[in-house]
């Protein structure tokens, strides 16, 4: 169970380590300062119907109650330790999992933890203004739930930094509160986390695409030979599932509403669809293209010696590593990557060890494709002849083998001029964004009411009705 009588709720027996407890209690006010500055705008007095973890067991996860977000019980929760756990891949395979950081991997591991940790506050910053244009009280509650849990994910990484990395770790923990998404001088570490999330379509796309990158990174780190990292990530994954649910169902509901209106009025022309106050499917496709492509970049270079080193050292595994049937060393295996040669995209086999970023990206793409197929079903069921497509993975990429090339939506290698001609067919234009935002000028907060551009969800949170008062504004 989690001890909530402590100033910092935890299941790691924090009270036994006075030095660590003091260090974290010192960081806590700085974190609160960050939350007041960069957390959801004007929300500090709201009482929000939130879930809080009460134990890390699968069945005892959540307790729902009204909470003022600054009073949310952020804390440190690790999956319980399995005494028999081993390092399951790489050169240390078969050794007992490490309970302390191996000296030779200290800086690498710190870098991995900081890079993951940096994404957590970043997304809160990206989303901080969206409360003022929410489509319903239900959705407002959901974004707040995502925000407090991203805050907790930051806590999860900061615990590891403080507990295992001494002074360097404490400095990194401070720096995590100092960087700002999109800041010119001190931006967040990864590109997608410096992009604005200016409207709710972008928010749902972000939680579908980019939180799912979070899932895959956490899955890879949950395989780590460094056991505290693995256990931390396992618990974070249970929270991540809700974020992706919010994204997937959010987009589903937008598509559903658009299709309803198209059917009712028997029209397909995007301008006419827009005139009825819903988002045309073409614009949804362009948002999809954008979020998908910037998220693919988060996996890094297709061929990467860093990725190989992380694996060989036992720090970062593959997706579902222990379920895979091979030597878990990748000494002989090969893996296909793609390269642009002239005006062609050419497949090339490389040592699998060096292609681990690409492999994780491919695992991710598979799951994304399933989600997009579920969105398509909504369109098909409405009988509307429109196909959502997942762009070619080289489309609009800034990192890896496709960077610097102009790859079209179907994988055609284009000249800069040809790309320019299609750019706004494929990616949201300023005008698209202005339109989407024009639908979201105020918030809809009457219980049970939903903005015109989105369908209600199938059910409420924690079996509450749709007209439940999910947020009390005070």
Gap between the Cα atoms of 126 and 123, Å rounded: 5
Beta carbon nearer to Fe ion, 153 or 393:
153
User: Which residues, other chains included, contact 355 with Cβ-Cβ below 8 Å and sequence gap of 6+?
Assistant: 302, 303, 304, 307, 335, 336, 337
Tokens for 402, please give them.
């496709």
Judged by CB, which is closer to Fe ion: 211, or 321? 211
Closest separation between CB of residue 190 and Fe ion, Å?
13
Q: What is the CB-side half-sphere exposure of residue 441 using CA atoms within 13 A?
A: 5
Closest to Fe ion by CB, 89 or 319: 319
**Residue 312 CB: number of other CB atoms within 10 A?**
18
Contact of 363 with 216, CB cutoff 8 Å:
yes
Q: Which is nearer to Fe ion, 92 or 212 (CB)?
A: 212
**Between residues 118 and 120, which has the closer beta carbon with respect to Fe ion?**
120
Using DSSP, state whether 447 is helix, strand or coil.
coil
Nearest distance in Å: CB 214, Fe ion: 5
Residues 6+ apart with CB under 8 A from 342: 413
Tokens of 362: 């491919």
Q: How far is the CB of 150 from Fe ion (least distance, A)?
A: 5
CB of 210 to Fe ion, least distance (A): 8
Closer residue to Fe ion, CB minimum distance, 240 or 358: 240
* 188 contributes a contact to Fe ion by CB under 5 A: no
Q: Which residues contact 11 (CB under 8 A, 6 or more apart)?
A: 1, 2, 3, 55, 56, 76, 77, 78
Which residue stretch of 84-92, 142-150, 337-345, 458-466 sits at the interface with Fe ion (rule: CB under 5 A)?
142-150
Return the number of other C-beta atoms located less than 10 Å from residue 196's C-beta. 13
199 binds Fe ion (CB under 5 A): no
Cα 318 to Cα 321: distance, rounded to the nearest angstrom:
5
Residue 182: left (phi > 0), alpha (psi -120 to 50), or beta? left
Binding mask 243-272 for Fe ion (x = CB under 5 A): x-----------------------------
294 versus 352: smaller Cβ distance to Fe ion = 294
- 50, 67 Cβ separation under 8 angstroms: yes
State the minimum distance, in angstroms, from the CB of residue 243 to Fe ion.
Answer: 4
Q: Cβ of residue 237: shortest distance to Fe ion, in angstroms?
A: 10
Q: Report in angstroms how near the CB of residue 240 gets to Fe ion at its nearest.
A: 5
Given 211, 248, 280, 432, the residue binding Fe ion (CB under 5 A): 211
Interface stretch with Fe ion, choices 147-155, 340-348, 359-367, 432-440 (CB under 5 A): 147-155
* E strands in 36-181: 47-53, 62-68
Only segment of 151-159, 191-199, 227-235, 357-365 that touches Fe ion (CB under 5 A): 151-159
* CA–CA distance, 152 with 135 (Å, rounded to integer): 25
Quick one: how far is CA 268 from the chain centroid? Answer: 33
Residue 79 or 312: which CB sits closer to Fe ion? Answer: 79
- Residue 203 or residue 395: which is nearer to Fe ion going by CB? 203
- Token readout for 49 is 């119907």
Report in angstroms how near the CB of residue 193 gets to Fe ion at its nearest.
Answer: 11
**Contact region with Fe ion (CB under 5 A), list: 165-173, 209-217, 225-233, 251-259:** 209-217
Give the C-alpha distances (Å, rounded to integers) separating 240 from 120, 152, 252.
Answer: 11, 11, 18
Could you tell me which stretch among 108-116, 212-220, 221-229, 376-384 binds Fe ion (CB under 5 A)?
A: 212-220
Q: Is 153 in the site for Fe ion (CB under 5 A)?
A: yes
Q: How many residues bind Fe ion (CB under 5 A)?
A: 7
198-to-61, 242, 329 alpha-carbon distances in Å: 32, 21, 43
Beta strand extents in 77-231 (DSSP E only): none
Nearer of residues 88 and 116 to Fe ion, judged by Cβ: 116
To Fe ion, the closest distance from the beta carbon of 158 in angstroms equals 13
Residue among 214 and 408 whose Cβ is closer to Fe ion: 214
CB hemisphere CA count around 6 (13 angstroms): 21
For the CB of residue 173, give the shortest distance to Fe ion in the complex, in Å: 16
Question: Would you state the torsion angle of the CA atoms of residues 132, 136, 141, 147, taken in this order, to the nearest 10 degrees?
Answer: -50
- Judged by CB under 5 A, the chain residues 27 through 46 that form the site for Fe ion are none
Q: Which of residues 216-245 bind Fe ion (CB under 5 A)?
A: 240, 243
Q: Which stretch binds Fe ion (CB under 5 A): 83-91, 172-180, 203-211, 346-354?
A: 203-211
Distance between CA atoms of residues 453 and 205, nearest Å: 15
Hunting for tokens 């990292």 — which residue is that?
229
Least distance from C-beta 422 to Fe ion, angstroms? 32
In the bound state with Fe ion, the residue whose beta carbon lies nearer, of 188 and 274, is 188
- Of 176, 390, 157, 377, nearest to 290 (Cα)? 390
Instruction: Write the interaction track for Fe ion spanning residues 91-130; mark x where CB under 5 A is met and - where it is not.
Output: -----------------------------x----------
Instruction: Write out the residues near Fe ion by the rule CB under 5 A.
Output: 120, 150, 153, 211, 214, 240, 243
């Amino acid at each position: 169970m989690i001890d909530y009588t402590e100033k910092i709720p935890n299941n790691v027996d924090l009270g036994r380590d006075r030095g660590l407890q003091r260090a974290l209690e010192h960081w806590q006010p700085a974190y609160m300062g960050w939350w007041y500055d960069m957390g959801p705008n004007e929300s500090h007095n709201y009482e929000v119907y939130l879930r809080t973890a009460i134990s890390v067991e699968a069945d005892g996860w959540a307790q729902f109650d009204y909470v003022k977000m600054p009073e949310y019980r952020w804390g440190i929760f690790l999956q319980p330790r399995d005494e028999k756990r081993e390092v399951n891949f790489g050169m240390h395979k078969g050794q007992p999992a490490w309970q302390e950081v191996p000296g030779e991997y200290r800086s690498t591991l710190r870098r991995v933890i900081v890079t993951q940790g940096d994404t957590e506050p970043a997304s809160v910053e990206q989303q901080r203004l969206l409360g003022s244009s929410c489509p319903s009280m239900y959705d407002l509650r959901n974004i707040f739930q995502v925000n407090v849990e991203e805050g907790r994910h930051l806590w999860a990484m900061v615990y590891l930094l403080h507990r295992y990395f001494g002074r360097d770790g404490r400095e990194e923990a401070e720096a995590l509160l100092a960087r700002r998404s999109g800041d010119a001088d001190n931006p967040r570490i990864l590109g997608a986390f410096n992009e604005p999330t200016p409207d709710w379509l972008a928010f749902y796309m972000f939680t579908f695409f980019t939180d799912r990158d979070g899932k895959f990174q956490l899955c890879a780190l949950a395989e780590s030979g460094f056991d505290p990292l693995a256990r931390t990530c396992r618990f974070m994954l249970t929270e991540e599932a809700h974020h992706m649910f919010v994204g997937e169902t959010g987009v589903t509901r937008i598509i559903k509403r658009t299709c309803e209106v198209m059917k009712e009025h028997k029209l397909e022309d995007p301008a006419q669809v827009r005139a009825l106050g819903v988002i045309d499917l073409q614009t949804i496709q362009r948002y999809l293209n954008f979020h998908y492509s910037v998220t693919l970049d988060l996996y890094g270079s297709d061929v990467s010696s860093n990725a190989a080193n992380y694996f060989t050292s036992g720090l970062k595994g593959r997706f579902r590593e222990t379920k895979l049937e091979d030597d878990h060393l990748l000494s002989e295996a090969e893996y296909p990557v793609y390269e642009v040669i002239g005006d062609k995209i050419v497949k090339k086999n490389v040592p699998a060890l060096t292609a681990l970023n690409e492999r994780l990206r491919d695992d991710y793409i598979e799951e994304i494709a399933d989600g997009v197929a579920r969105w398509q079903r909504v369109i098909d069921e409405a009988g509307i002849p429109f196909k959502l497509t997942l762009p070619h993975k080289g489309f609009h990429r800034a990192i890896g083998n496709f960077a610097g090339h102009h790859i079209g939506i179907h994988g055609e290698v284009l000249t800069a001029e040809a790309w320019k001609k299609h750019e706004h067919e494929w990616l949201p234009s300023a005008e698209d964004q202005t339109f989407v935002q024009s639908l979201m000028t105020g918030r809809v907060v009457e219980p049970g009411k939903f903005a015109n551009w989105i369908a209600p969800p199938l059910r409420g949170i924690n079996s509450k009705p749709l007209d439940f008062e999910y947020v009390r504004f005070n």
